[in-house]
Structure formats: C-alpha cells, structure tokens
Structure 1
Amino acid sequence: MTQTKRRWRVSPATIAPVLIISWAVTSAIATGFNFRPLVLLELQTQALFFRLRGEVAPPPELVILAIDDDSLTRGRDAKELKELASIRSWPWRRTAYAEAIDKIMAAGARSVAVDVLWDLPSERPADDQRLQQTLKRYAGRVTLAAIHATSESIGGGLDQLVYPDPMFQVDPKAIGLINYSPEPDGQLRRFASVYLNQIDADLRQSKSDLLSFDEASLQTSKLPFNAPKGDYIFFYGGSNTFAIVPFWTVLYPQNWERLKQEQIFKDKIVLIGPTAAFLQDIHPTPFGDLSGIEVHANAIATLLEDRAIAEVMPDPAWRGFYLFLALAGIGLAIGQVSKRTTPRFVLAIVIAGGWWLVGYASFVYGGLILPVAAPFLAISLSGLFYLSTGAANDQLEKLRLRRTLERYVAKPIVKEILSQPEDFQALLQGRKLNAAVLFCDIRGFTTLSYKLPPETLVSLLNTYLNAMVEAVAAASGTIDKFIGDAVMAEFGSPVSYGEETDAMNAIRAALGMRQALAALRSQWQQEGKTLLYHGIGISYGEVIAGNIGSLRRLEYTVIGDTVNVASRVEGLTKSFWTDILITDALYQRVQEHVEVVFVGEHLLRGREDSPSRLYSLIGLKGEAPTLYHQVHEELRRYLGYIEATES
C-alpha cells in the first residue's frame, strides 16, 4: 500500500497571515519584556500626545516664587540696596528665605514649599536662627525638601536620605522627598512618590513618615486631594505655564507693595525653588526642559485636580498577552473582510489611525495610557504585508494565469485579459456568459488508429492539431480542450468582443480550419501520407465558464446546453457530407456576412422536444465557394469509403 504525500504550496497570500502572527508575537514579547526601543517609542508617542494637546490652564492655587536668573543678577548688581543684601551672592543668606516666607504668609498664602535643601548649618548662625524662628511661626504650613543621595567612596556606594538640619525640623514636621525617577528616555513623567516607593526598603522604613514633596506640600495647604489613580503626571505645558514671580521682587519694597495690592499670594500654595540655568536644576519632560520647581508645580496641580494618568494594564506581561490577541485578531480579520489587496491596506491604515486616535483621546481626556506605538506599527505593517504579499501574489497569479491561458488562447488575448484591472482570479470563477462553442472531430479516426503505427498516428495528429489551434488563435478563440482527436474551442470566453464579433470569429476559425486542413491534405498527398477529414459543429448561447475539475486538476472550460448542442451538431456533419454545420442561434448573428445551405430541422439527442435548424457553412459572402464544393465532394467519397471499410 502506497501513501500519497500531500504537497503544500506556499504562496505570498498564505505568507501574509504568518507574518502578521509573527509580528503580533514579536510585539507582545517586546511589550511583555519592556523591550527598550519599544518603550522609547511609546514614550515618544505620549510626549507627542502632550504636545498635540497643547497647554492647559493650571489651577490658580499655585504660584512659583522663582530663584531665577533675574533675581541672581539683581542681587549681584544692586550692592547699594540693603533690601537685596541677602541675595548678593550664591548661596543666598537664609534670612532671604525667612523674610520671603514671612511676607508671603502675611499676605495670606495657604502654605509655602521650599525646594532648597538646608541640610547643614550656614556660616552665619544668626541667619539660621532667624529662619528657624520663621519656620516655628508657621509650623505645619511650610514644607521643606529632603533628598535621596548616593555618594561614591572607596568602599562602594552609600545610599542615604538627606534631611534638613534638625534645627529646621520644627513640629509639626512637613518634609517631602524631591527625587523623581527618569524614564528610559531620560524624561521625568512619574510622581516623586513612585521614586519613594522604589528606594531601598530598609532605608524607607527608617523614615516611614516621609512623603513626596508634592504630597507634603498639599497636606500643609489643607486643600483636599485624592490618592492618584495612576503614577504619571498630567503636564499642563512647557516653561512658564504656571504663574512665576521673581524672588527679588518680594524683597524689594516697591515691588512688594504692588504684589500685595494685586493679592498675588492670597490663598495660594507658594513654591520656592530655582529656575536659573546656573543652578542646574533643569530636567527633560514631555514639554521640553523644565526647572525642578516647575515639575513639582505640575505634580501638585495634577494631584489637586485629580488628573493623574494611569496605565490601562500596568503589568507588562498581561499587556503583552492582550496586545497579541488584539493584533492577531485585527490582522487576520482584515484578511477576511476583503480578498483584494488595496481595500485590505486601506482598512489596515484606517484601523491603525483609529487606534492612534483612541489612544490619544484616552490619554488626553481619560487619563489612561493605552499601548499605541506597537499596535499602530503592527496594524500598519499588517496592511503593508497584505499590500506587498498581495502584489507579489497578483504577479504570481498573473504569471500562472498567463501560462494557463497561453495553452488555449492567443497571446494578444492573454495580454488583454491580464491588462484588465479586475482580480485575475475573477476570470476563473464560475460565471454565466454568452459565447460561440466549436467542436471539431476527425472523421473515421477510430479506423485510422487501428491501421497506422503509433508513431505515425501521433505525428500526424500533432501536425493536424497544431494547424487547428493556429486557426482558432488567429480568430481570437480559446482552445478549451483536446478530447482525443477532437478539439473544443469557444469565442467570447474569457474575453468577449460582442455577440456578433464573437460569432463571426467562430465562423472565421472554422473556415480557417477548413483551409488549413485542405493545405495539409495537399501536402500529405504529395508525401504519400494518410489524408484526414474532419467535421465542425458551432452553436451560440449561454454557457457557464470557470475553472472546473478536482483539487488535483483544474482546467478552464465552459459547460452548459450550448456546449452539448455544438457537440451534437458536429456529429451530424457526416450525415450531410459537409465539414461545417452551424445552428440557427449562430446563423442569426452572422447571416449578413455568410453564405449557407439550410439542411433542415433536426432532433438532437437530449433535445428531442425541440428540433434545431441547421445550416451548412459555404463561406463568407463574396468569396468563391470552390473549396466548399471540393471538400463536400471529397467528404462524400471519403465517408463512403469509411462506411464500406467498417462494414
């Protein structure tokens, strides 16, 4: 017992789903393992969302008192102004901060948060005492900064939490950690509380009461706020988005009077911190470089307005899993919606764009981070896969169709078929059409097959069939099949030139076959070879055309009543000693161009209830009937000889 191996054919059309699944798997793995290039791409997408959204008005409760370039310059250049004596050189004297806090609080501020680390006593003890007195006066309303620092030594790294000097830690204490965790692209995006939760557990437990600077600042303000629903800051804009007051204006009397009158600090959280480039507290963010105090302002505002941004799926593994399901499902669904290449590509781009818009809306308006970059690329690539593999498949199908059709159809017709914009495979699908069907069969071939040696018979038959095929091709016909010595052809399938033209092409093919065989007989007679005669039957009507057969073998053919009629008519040619018979359906379309002899109405097998009107084709009008009569006479003698031989 032999086992047949099944052969699998790999085509571009079958490769596309494999590529889509592969890309979905790759995207899922890259997402699940936080593949750095993909993470960077997602972060860039989020930054783009921020920039496209543009600046948003921050809450009015926040004001920044900036240690800016202007304040540093004013203090250095105004040596004659005793009011600015405390800020003439950096670091500023602590009396400057004490005076500023006193004035701000007296002006009605809710609280003050100072992003300046006072971890050691200054060179002026009196200044420190003055600041201490101010802090005691507003205890519980002034937030001080702490920092997580790493120092390198011979023995290795040493992590430590650096707090304000104990003399400034007045009860109730309000101290906040100012560190932020940069993302893989170096930008700050997440709250300081995220950093706080990431530092060494033992170190954190030793300071269990430590809050982030942002949360501590809000607690001292007594304004209500909820725990953030996500880890990411809602950035309101770029530099100078929040109200900024230069530090020196609070110390200078004329400016201070104006600030009091305008109630700049009334009921506000005042953030004191450096913005000057000289102090190197500048950090990259989605809105460009921001000073540390402006990052704090964005974080505090986010908490105050409950606008924290959260990841829809924080766990990378689950995010990768669901992303795989979504990408694989969408990619394969695109392939099922349409079989055509261009609609698939357009649909993929539309879905990718839709996903991008949903991701944007979710991020900007819903405060939720969806994976965007990977799905956008994956879906777009799915469309490109379908486009490229579809184009390659079209070329292969075009080549395959060309090779198939060129066995049956003249090359000019093949070229015309392949130039049509429609799908090539549509030509091979089952469809109804009108066509002329021609059958041609050698008379007495069975008798000849017994008399002639196989080699002689095959050579003779090949020469004959080649001449018949050339005649059909010259008349723009399609060779349907060879059935032994018989030839089946149609005109109007797969390409129609109009009913009358198709019918006349069938007439011209039959007349060309008559002339070709007559020429061959003349040649064979001189060579002493056996002479051949044939009969041709032509009908016109509706047929069903398509690729018909089994899974192992398909061929383009036509079927239907018109085919059966043509075959039956061909069989009747020997009854009238003629080589070409046509039906009335064909004659009605060519009668103005041909000469015929009406041979009567005849019952055809399978159509006993409806006699068919038949005509013997003489030739085209205006042409001499010499060849017709010659063939008619030769057939009469030949068929008589065959009958006598067979009997």
Structure 2
Amino acid sequence: MKRVRGLLQRIAPYTAAIVALLLLRSTGLAQTIDLVVYDLITTQRPAASGKDTPITLIGIEESDIQRFGWPIDDGLFCQGFDQLNASGVDVIGFDIYRDKGVGPDQQCLRDRFQNEPTLVSIFNVASGIGPVPGTPVERQSYNDLSLDADGILRRDLVHVTGQDEATVSFAMRVMEIATGDRSLREAMDAGRHEDAWLSANGGGYYNEVDAGLGLQTLLRFRDPWSYPLYSLAQLLDGEIPEDAIRDKIVLIGSTAPSLRDLFNVPQTRFTRSEEVFQVSGVEIHANRVATLLEHQDGSIQVGWIMPGWGNQMLLVLCIGLGALLGEAVPKLRRSVVLVLGLGAALTGGIGWLLWQQHVWVGMAMPITGLLSMGGAAWMRRGAMSQQHSQQIKQLLGQTTSPAVADQLWNQRDELLSNGRFDGRQLPITVLFTDTANFTSVSEGLSPRELMDWLNRGMEVCVPAVTRRGGMVNKFTGDGMLAVFGVPIEQDVQAEATAAIEAAQEIKAGLEKLNQQLQIDGEPAMRIRMGIHSGDALVGSMGSPERIEYAVIGDTVNCASRLESLDKQRHKGVLRVLLSSNTLDLLEPDFRKQLELENWGPMHVKGRDEPLDVHELKMDTAPEAPEATQP
C-alpha cells in the first residue's frame, strides 16, 4: 500500500500536467492563444504603404450606391472600363460578381470581358458563382478566401496545383496579366517555388488548415487604407489623375459597408475605434497582388512557418526540459528561476522571430509544456519533501533545528537508505539534563499539574538546543538527551560551543520561569546538566513497527553520569558539569569568558578512566540567537 501511495505521489503531478496539455490542445485554447499573439505582433509590426505599389483601387462607395443605385448597371461599368483602357491601364481586376447581368446593357459587359485582354473576371467555388459569361478561361479566376474559425482572415490561398486553366487565384491572374510572366505559377506547379507554406498543424494552427486545399500562406498586410482609392463616380466623371491609372494595376470592388464585403483581419482585435476595424475585399486582393509582385522581383522576406512535426518535436523538447530542470536542479528556487527564465526567453525568442523574420512557431503548447512539467516536478518534489520530512521526523524521533532539517533534505540521498539512517560513527557533543527533586515535587502535584509543570521546563530547554542546530534525541521522563553534531557531521568546535551557549540560555530561561512559577504558587524548577564530547555510534534502530534515531556509546553514558554526579552539590537553578573533552574543543577566547570550577578527576559509573570534571558557573546568560547555522 505504501508503494502504491508513493507511486501515485510521483506520477500524479505529471499526469495532471499531461491532462492539462491535452485539454489545452483539444479545446482549441492553444490555437486561440497563438492566434492572439500572431494578431498582436502583426498589428504592431510596421507595415509598408500601398502607395509604393503599382496598384490603384476603384471602390463602390456609399455615395456611388446613392447616385447609381444597386446593383449598378452593367453599362456604367462598360464606360469605366473604356476610360481605364484609354488611359493605358495594365490590367483591370473586376472583384464584383456578374454571372447574371444587370440593366439593359448586359451584352456590352460580356463583350468587354470576351474581347478586352486587360479584364479579369471572378468566380467563387464555395458559393457556386460563375464568372462573367463569355470570359475566356485565361482571364477567369477564383476569389475564394479562407476565414479562420474565429472569423478573422489571416491566410491566403495562393494557388491550387493540378487544376484547369480557369482555376487560378484572382491575385495570381491579375499579376500574370499585368506582368506577362507566368513563371511564378509554373514554379509552384512544379514544386520549385519556396515560400512559407502552411501545413496541417503548422505555425500556431491546430487542425485548422486543410493541407490538401492548396498552397496557403499567411497574408502580408500593407498599411490599411494606404492604396490610392477612388470612387466609381470619380472614374466616370474623369476625376482620377492619369498617372494613377497609366501602367497601373486597377482593382474594382465594393468598399461600402452596406455591401458587406468587409473582413476582420489581425488588426481588428487590437485596434480601437468608433467602428469595427475591417478591410474591404478589394484591398485584401490588393495586398495579395502586391505580395506576388514582391515574390516575382525577389524583394520579399519570405519567412518560414514551423511545420506540424516541428511543433511536436519542440513540444517534446520543452516537456523534457521542464521535467529535467524541475527535477535535476538541487535548489528549488534556482529550478524555478531557470524554468521561468527559459520560458520567458522562449516566448521572447519566438515573438522576435515572428516580428523580425516572419517566422511563425506555435508557442502556447511548448511553453505550457515547459511550465507545466516544471510545475509538476516542483509539486512532486514538494510532496516527496513532505514525505521525507515526515520520515526524518519519524526516524529522528524528536525535534531538530530548521537549519539541520534543510541539510538533511539536501543530503537525503546520502544519509537515508531504505527509509533508515545508516549506522555511522560521528564526533558529537551530548547535553543530558535531569530535574532535581522530581520525586518530592511530584508528591505535591496531580498528574496533570505535574505534566504541565514539566512541559513548562521543556519549553525553556528545547528551543535553546534547536536554535543552535542541536537535536533533542529523546525525553527521559523528567529530563532530556540533546545531541549536537547529528545526523550530519559538523564542526566539533562549533558544536561544543553551541552546547555551552544552550546551557547559558537554559539558565536564564529557568530564572524567568521560576519567577512565574512563584507567582503561580508552583514549585521552583531546578535542573542538573552534563555535557561531554566524543565519538558515538548513530543511526536508525528498531523494527518497521517502531523505529527511532539512536545515539549509542561512551560519550552518551559520560554525559548522563556527569549529570547525576554528586547530586547534593547543587546550587542555583541550573548545575552544569562538563568534561575536559568538551572544554578542550572550545576556542581559547571563548573559554576565557567562562567561569569554571575544577572538580578534578572523578570516576563515574561504568568507566575505568576518570573524567576531568568542571562546573560551569553562570551569573548572566547571553541572549538567544535569532537564527542558527549548524
């Protein structure tokens, strides 16, 4: 059962992280995050002006509808075409559906499209709308646009290979007629043209792009409304400057909001105005034509889009890095800094690539994978830390200082074996206490009062030990056994000094306690203490049902014998006897500060060799330290 519980503690955080990643992907939230980031960067990136292109727009505006009505008579378009051709236009892209004629001059429009080599007609595959009747196939084109699931236009269906001559995109057809060059489309058909093509799960898309639909890329947006734009009325009234038409690509389409040929674009989300930021279809096509012209003359920065398999590899890499940095870095704080720093660097790097290089890499999944796996590792480590802390408390049996506990955690792999502390021989200093006149005191108190009385004494003694890195190994009825230097080997000089300082603090605490006990009408508390330094065997002892941290050896026995030595020779609230073993470890300057009474060599029970015994006299005691280092 413990193994199962331990296994669950290890895998549960990672299972939760994987579930979170799956939900992020399956719910579409990852794609939403990536698209929002893409829109933000696209909005903030400086864009070139449409005035720098050979493209002029003729828009059907609200004023044109008021003047000419809607749908506009075919004869008016015929007049406009004639004026444009007379001014020396390169090509006229007609982005208005006219599969069915309007007005009495329908035939003139069909004749123009049949005979004028500058005219390009549109049809729409998705809606089943045909081109202007009579238009030759070499001047027909589809104007289908691909909206994303959130209703924003980001992609351009540049070309569909393997189709008949009529099935060419509107932008491609206009560009080819204007330049007389079909090499770009031929290169696409042959698979020789390199571009930042979208694939399934490419960039920040997840199952959004139909890879079999054709060659798709991300739209390049010029500065909105920067193309030269004139109304149909201005064209018919001869008010358009000739240099805006001659040798230009002219696109005619709807710009009036009432005609609803407007599209939400990446800038829509982050541009605040009185009206919704939308771009007309004819300007979208102008952007497409301008991009193809840049491809043809080689002036475009092509960029790159991470393919789906690349996104998957990046995700796996980030998951591995998150788990590795979360688990392998010893210091938890450093691990957190490294994972968060790497996440920030990855976010900044991907954003910079998109901003400067038009390189689009999906960031939501890999960064979430990095952070979630790092977080899972931290949770697992926290759970294991708590488990180890409980285990250490169980093994040590009693309290130890926070500083020692930290070191225990950092060295747990070296110290613990199969849930136990291995037996080791360590140089230690032992502090042993016992309460004087306990029998006579107990006769005058009830069991509950006696226990409260003893605990008030322990509240003085225990903190004085643990604050200095010592460990209270066990309580011995009316006393305690405290050890300095376990379970991690420390500086023997520092441990001996810590024991003396603990004794000084205990004396000061007992004096204050006795003042309060006198007020409360309870017996005063007097304690005997023995301190001795030397080697001892330490480690876990017991069975699975009961186990404790044992400190065994002559050092422990000597401290106990010093405490019980000549009990009648006791003045004041605390009598401290210590051996020369401990005194010899102290720094000379510290030892000079101590008031000592030499009892001389004395034999103690169970030991052949005498101990050189000293009594520590204490008139005052130093203040307890706020923190300790073991």
User: What's the TM-score once normalised by structure 2's chain length?
Assistant: 0.65
Q: Residue 374 of structure 1: which of 341, 358, 365 is its match?
A: 365
For residue 114 of structure 1, what is the aligned residue in structure 2? 94
**Equivalences for 1:148-547 in 2 at 5 Å?**
148=125, 150=127, 160=128, 162-166=130-134, 169-170=135-136, 173-193=138-158, 207=164, 209-222=166-179, 225=184, 227=188, 228-230=195-197, 231-237=216-222, 239-253=224-238, 255-256=239-240, 259-260=241-242, 263-288=243-268, 289-306=278-295, 311-314=305-308, 318=309, 321-382=312-373, 384-385=375-376, 407-408=398-399, 417=402, 425-426=409-410, 436-438=429-431, 472-473=461-462, 475-476=464-465, 478-481=470-473, 488-491=481-484, 500=497, 502-506=499-503, 536-539=530-533
Q: CA deviation at 1:113?
A: 0.7
Say if 2:95 and 2:251, in contact at 8 Å, map to a contact too: yes
- Provide, for residues 215-274 of structure 1, a one-character-per-residue CA deviation record: whole Å limited to 9, x for no partner: 111111125646454212333256414332223222223x23xx12xx123432211111
- Provide, for residues 295-318 of structure 1, a one-character-per-residue CA deviation record: whole Å limited to 9, x for no partner: 11122222222366764214xxx4
For residue 128 of structure 1, what is the aligned residue in structure 2? 107
Say if 1:50 and 1:286, in contact at 8 Å, map to a contact too: yes
- Provide, for residues 178-227 of structure 1, a one-character-per-residue CA deviation record: whole Å limited to 9, x for no partner: 11122111222222456x68xxxxxx96x553211111111111256464
1:47 aligns with 2:42: no
Q: Residue 613 of structure 2: which of 615, 619, 622 is its match?
A: 615
1:103 aligns with 2:83: yes
Partner SS for 1:112: strand
2:16 and 2:178 map into 1 onto residues whose CA distance is 57
For residue 19 of structure 1, what is the aligned residue in structure 2? 16
Gaps of 5+ in 2: 189-194, 198-215, 269-277, 416-425, 435-450, 511-527, 570-576, 621-630
Partner SS for 2:244: coil
Q: CA deviation at 1:275?
A: 0.7
Partner SS for 2:217: coil
Q: CA deviation at 1:114?
A: 0.8
For residue 60 of structure 2, what is the aligned residue in structure 1? 67
Q: CA deviation at 1:335?
A: 0.7
Classify 1:511/1:615 alpha carbon distance in 2 versus 1 (closer, same or farther; 3 Å): farther
Q: What amino acid does structure 2 have at the position aligned with 1:332?
A: A
- Provide, for residues 408-460 of structure 1, a one-character-per-residue CA deviation record: whole Å limited to 9, x for no partner: 45xxxx6xx38x997883597989x997433689xxxxxxxxxxxxxxxxxxx
Q: What amino acid does structure 2 have at the position aligned with 1:122?
A: V
Q: CA deviation at 1:577?
A: 7.0
2:344 and 2:336 map into 1 onto residues whose CA distance is 12
- Provide, for residues 59-94 of structure 1, a one-character-per-residue CA deviation record: whole Å limited to 9, x for no partner: 512221211224334xx1xxxxxxxxxxx2222233
Partner SS for 2:225: coil
**Equivalences for 1:69-88 in 2 at 5 Å?**
69-73=62-66, 76=67, 88=68
Q: CA deviation at 1:281?
A: 1.0
Say if 2:47 and 2:221, in contact at 8 Å, map to a contact too: yes
Say if 1:57 and 1:236, in contact at 8 Å, map to a contact too: no
CA RMSD of aligned residues (A): 5.4
Gaps of 5+ in 1: 77-87, 151-159, 198-203, 442-461, 514-533, 606-610, 623-647
Number of matched pairs:
516
Classify 1:421/1:251 alpha carbon distance in 2 versus 1 (closer, same or farther; 3 Å): farther
Comparing 579-588 with 277-286, which one deviates more in the overlay? 579-588
For residue 627 of structure 2, what is the aligned residue in structure 1? none
Classify 1:467/1:283 alpha carbon distance in 2 versus 1 (closer, same or farther; 3 Å): closer
1:393 and 1:6 map into 2 onto residues whose CA distance is 13
Partner SS for 1:353: helix
Q: CA deviation at 1:137?
A: 5.8
Partner SS for 1:90: coil
Say if 1:234 and 1:309, in contact at 8 Å, map to a contact too: no
Q: What amino acid does structure 2 have at the position aligned with 1:244?
A: L
User: What's the TM-score once normalised by structure 1's chain length?
Assistant: 0.63
For residue 585 of structure 1, what is the aligned residue in structure 2? 584
Classify 1:290/1:408 alpha carbon distance in 2 versus 1 (closer, same or farther; 3 Å): closer
1:381 and 1:213 map into 2 onto residues whose CA distance is 46
Q: CA deviation at 1:360?
A: 2.5
- Provide, for residues 349-396 of structure 1, a one-character-per-residue CA deviation record: whole Å limited to 9, x for no partner: 333333333333333444343222223333344455556666777777
For residue 520 of structure 1, what is the aligned residue in structure 2? none
Say if 1:537 and 1:568, in contact at 8 Å, map to a contact too: no
Classify 1:436/1:301 alpha carbon distance in 2 versus 1 (closer, same or farther; 3 Å): same
Q: CA deviation at 1:144?
A: 1.0
- Provide, for residues 138-163 of structure 1, a one-character-per-residue CA deviation record: whole Å limited to 9, x for no partner: 41x3211112254xxxxxxxxx4512
Higher-Rg member (1/2): 1
Q: CA deviation at 1:590?
A: 4.8
2:2 and 2:385 map into 1 onto residues whose CA distance is 28
Q: CA deviation at 1:483?
A: 12
Say if 1:238 and 1:290, in contact at 8 Å, map to a contact too: no
Classify 1:599/1:55 alpha carbon distance in 2 versus 1 (closer, same or farther; 3 Å): same
Partner SS for 2:123: strand
Q: What amino acid does structure 2 have at the position aligned with 1:67?
A: I
Say if 2:261 and 2:281, in contact at 8 Å, map to a contact too: yes
Say if 2:326 and 2:374, in contact at 8 Å, map to a contact too: no
Q: What amino acid does structure 1 have at the position aligned with 2:340?
A: I
For residue 518 of structure 1, what is the aligned residue in structure 2? none
1:551 and 1:121 map into 2 onto residues whose CA distance is 98
1:422 and 1:574 map into 2 onto residues whose CA distance is 31
1:189 and 1:67 map into 2 onto residues whose CA distance is 24
- Provide, for residues 470-518 of structure 1, a one-character-per-residue CA deviation record: whole Å limited to 9, x for no partner: 88537536455469999752358799999756414247879999xxxxx
Classify 1:350/1:511 alpha carbon distance in 2 versus 1 (closer, same or farther; 3 Å): closer
1:146 aligns with 2:146: no
Q: What amino acid does structure 2 have at the position aligned with 1:163?
A: P
Say if 1:569 and 1:581, in contact at 8 Å, map to a contact too: no
Q: CA deviation at 1:174?
A: 0.8
Q: What amino acid does structure 2 have at the position aligned with 1:582?
A: S
Say if 2:196 and 2:304, in contact at 8 Å, map to a contact too: yes
Amino-acid identity (%): 17
For residue 273 of structure 2, what is the aligned residue in structure 1? none
Say if 2:531 and 2:559, in contact at 8 Å, map to a contact too: yes
2:173 and 2:267 map into 1 onto residues whose CA distance is 25
Q: What amino acid does structure 2 have at the position aligned with 1:144?
A: S
2:433 and 2:94 map into 1 onto residues whose CA distance is 104
Classify 1:492/1:337 alpha carbon distance in 2 versus 1 (closer, same or farther; 3 Å): closer
